[in-house]
Amino acid sequence: MAERRRSEATRQAILDAALELAGEVGYAKLSVEGIAARAGAGKQTIYRWWPSKGAVLLDALLAYTTGPSGRIDDVELPDTGDLSADLKAVLRATVEELNDPRLSAPMRALSTEILADPVLAADYADRLETPVRELKLRRLRRAVDAGEVSADADLDVVVDLLWGPLRTRWLYREGPLTKRYTDRVVDTVLNGIRRW
């Protein structure tokens, strides 16, 4: 039992060190040696649990996003019965995360690496992208059931429309990430732009 607790503490120290270091030195200079040194752990301990620095970083972001359980299924998007307000709240929270360099720097590091590493990309898709998309789809399906959203809407497209612009704007540094911007994304997707 004490062993297991020690093991869990080491694991958490490694995840914290990976997030911190990725933010400080960037992905290219991040190394398993560096993470081990910062965490006060052995390099071989890291390699016993993870195949690569990218895998450590993915677990670190998962743990940060979901809390200690590491399970996204435990999370639900808010549902107050007002889809517009709920989506705005979720996207505003995402803006805050992306504007926080402690989180944004390791996320950018992981994003860049995913483009070059198909194995890490598949792992990311299975463990983070797909379950998070499922959360979003669940909230949208409830809005369809409640009669707020048209039953004809293609909800997969709607997820891309709501979250894609913020992601692209952030990744390519194409403009400031503001709550005004995400509010407008939500309003535009809900209302459309056609003059009837």
Backbone angles phi, psi at 165, to 5 degrees: -60, -40
Nearer to a second copy, 45 or 111 (CB): 111
Reading the block at residue 52, the tokens are 């690569």
Instruction: Evaluate whether 110 touches 104 at the Cβ level (below 8 Å).
Output: no
Q: Do 158 and 140 contact (CB within 8 A), yes or no?
A: yes
Taking the CB of residue 2, how many other CB atoms lie within 10 A of it?
6
- Candidates 73, 167, 176, 178: give the one binding a second copy (CB under 8 A): 167
> What track of x and - describes contact with a second copy for positions 14 through 43 (by CB under 8 A)?
--------------x---------------
- By CB under 8 A, tell whether 44 contacts a second copy: no
Residue 187 Cα distances to 83, 168, 193, angstroms: 11, 19, 10
Residues from 116 through 145 that contact a second copy (CB under 8 A)? 116, 121, 125, 129
Between 72 and 190, CB nearer to a second copy:
190
Q: Which residues bind a second copy (CB under 8 A)?
A: 28, 108, 111-112, 114-116, 121, 125, 129, 147-151, 153-154, 156-158, 160-161, 164-165, 167-169, 171-175, 181, 184-185, 188-195
